[in-house]
Structure 1
Amino acid sequence: MKTIERLTRNAWFEIGLQLLAAEGEKALTIDRLCQTAERTKGSFYHHFKSHDEFVTALLAYWQFEYTNRIIARVEQLEDLSDRRRELDRLAASVDSRLERAIRRWSGVDERVQLTLKQVDEQRIQYLAKLICELGQSDEETAHELAVIEYAAFVGFQQLFPEAESQWIERLIHRVTQLISSGK
C-alpha cells in the first residue's frame, strides 16, 4: 500500500491561493480545498481548527509571500538601482489573477479588506522609501510618487489581466522613468 505524504500548512495555502486565483473566494470551502488536495477533512483539520482560521492564516501567508518576501529579496541587493529593477521585475511577476481575486474578495470580507489595506500601505511605504533612497525627492513627494506608481501598477493588473509579466515590467519601468524625470 502506498503511503500518502502529509500536506504542510503551506501546501494548503498554495492550494487555497490557486483556487482563489482561478475561481474566486467561493471556491475556498473546506470541501473544495480537500477535493483539490485529494485529502480528507481530517487532513485539513489537522492543520486548521476552522475555516475562519484557515482564511486568516491564508491572508497572512499571502501578505508574507507577496509583499514581505519580495521586499526582503530586494533589500538583499546593495546597489539601489539594482533594488529598483528587481522590485519592478518581482512586482511584474506577481500573479495578477490572484491580486485581482484578493481585491474582489475585499469587497465582501472585512478581514480581507483590512489585510489588503495593510499590504497596499506596506508596498507604498517601501516604494516611497526606495524613491527617497535613490535621491529622487523628499519624503512627502516620494510618498505621493509611490502612490501614483502603485496605482498605475494596480491599474495594469486590472486593465490587462492576460498581459505577460515582461510587458507589465516595461510599463512599470516607463512609469518609473516618468516619475524620476518629473521630480
Structure 2
Amino acid sequence: MLTRDHWIAAGFDALDHQGYQGISAEQLARRLNVTRGSFYHHFRSRDEFVHALLTAWEADYADRMLAHAAAGSSLEDVLQRYLTIAAEKRPQRETAIRAWSRIDPLVAEYQQRVDQTRLSFAISACRARTDGSVDAELVGRMVHLCLIGGQESGERSMPAIFGQRVQQALALLRASSFRPS
C-alpha cells in the first residue's frame, strides 16, 4: 500500500537525481508507477507535498544532524561532527534544495530556517567551549560557511579529509595569537 512516506521518499529520490525540476505530481507518479490521482489522494496540493517533504528534510538535515554533532566531547569534535555529518548526507539533495530556494519562496523559508538553526548551533557550540579570547561568533560563522562551501564545492565527497582540514584549521586558530578586532 502506497503511503505519504513513499511519496516523500520519491521526492527525495527526484531531488537527488533530477534536482527540484523532478518535483511534480506527474513525474513523481511515474517514478512510483502509479497514477497522478494517487498523489492527490495523499496530498491536497503540491504545496502540501512540498511542506511535508521539506519538514522531513529539516528534521533530518538540521535536528538529527545537530543532535549528532552535540554529542562531541570537545569543540573540535563537535565541529568536526557538524561538518562530517553534513558531508556524509546526500550532497545532491542539499544542493538541489539550496538551488530551489532561490526561485521558490516556500522553499527559501525552509532553507533559511535550516541555515539559521545550523548557524546558531555552531555559534553556541563555540561560545560554550571557548574562553573569552576567541570570537565565538566569528568562528561559528566560519564553520557554518565551511559547511555550505564544502557541500557546494565538492569537498563533501571526502568527509574524512574535510574533517581533518577543519581540525587543522581549529588547531592553528587555537595556537595562534588570534585576537578579535
Asked whether the two chains share a fold, i.e. TM above 0.5, the reply is yes
- Tell me how far apart the structure 2 counterparts of residues 158 and 126 of structure 1 sit (CA, whole Å): 20
Amino acid at match of 1:39: V
Q: 1:112 maps to what in 2? A: 107
Cα gap change, 1:116/1:78 in structure 2, threshold over 3 Å: closer, same or farther? closer
Q: Residue 137 of structure 1: CA displacement?
A: 4.5
Residue 174 (structure 2) pairs with residue 154 (structure 1):
no
- Within the candidate set 82, 86, 95, 1:87 is matched to 82
Worse-superposed segment, 84-93 or 170-179: 170-179
Amino acid at match of 2:127: C
Residue 27 (structure 2) pairs with residue 32 (structure 1):
yes
TM-score (norm 1): 0.82
Q: 1:174 maps to what in 2? A: 168
Cα gap change, 1:162/1:46 in structure 2, threshold over 3 Å: closer, same or farther? same
- Within the candidate set 24, 48, 65, 2:60 is matched to 65
Residue 64 (structure 2) pairs with residue 54 (structure 1):
no
Are the counterparts in 2 of residues 131 and 142 from structure 1 also a CA contact under 8 Å? yes
Q: 1:8 maps to what in 2? A: 3
Number of residue equivalences:
176
Cα gap change, 1:146/1:73 in structure 2, threshold over 3 Å: closer, same or farther? same
Are the counterparts in 1 of residues 100 and 107 from structure 2 also a CA contact under 8 Å? yes
- Tell me how far apart the structure 2 counterparts of residues 22 and 173 of structure 1 sit (CA, whole Å): 32
Worse-superposed segment, 154-163 or 52-61: 154-163
Cα gap change, 1:138/1:20 in structure 2, threshold over 3 Å: closer, same or farther? farther
Amino acid at match of 2:26: D
- Tell me how far apart the structure 2 counterparts of residues 45 and 138 of structure 1 sit (CA, whole Å): 56
- Tell me how far apart the structure 1 counterparts of residues 35 and 84 of structure 2 sit (CA, whole Å): 38
- Tell me how far apart the structure 1 counterparts of residues 60 and 53 of structure 2 sit (CA, whole Å): 10
Cα gap change, 1:44/1:173 in structure 2, threshold over 3 Å: closer, same or farther? farther
Q: Percent identity?
A: 26
SS at match of 1:24: helix
Q: Residue 179 of structure 1: CA displacement?
A: 4.3
- Tell me how far apart the structure 2 counterparts of residues 92 and 45 of structure 1 sit (CA, whole Å): 34
Q: Residue 109 of structure 1: CA displacement?
A: 0.6
SS at match of 1:16: helix
- Within the candidate set 39, 42, 64, 2:37 is matched to 42
In structure 1, stretches of 5+ residues that fail to align are: 1-5
RMSD value over aligned CA atoms? Answer: 2.5
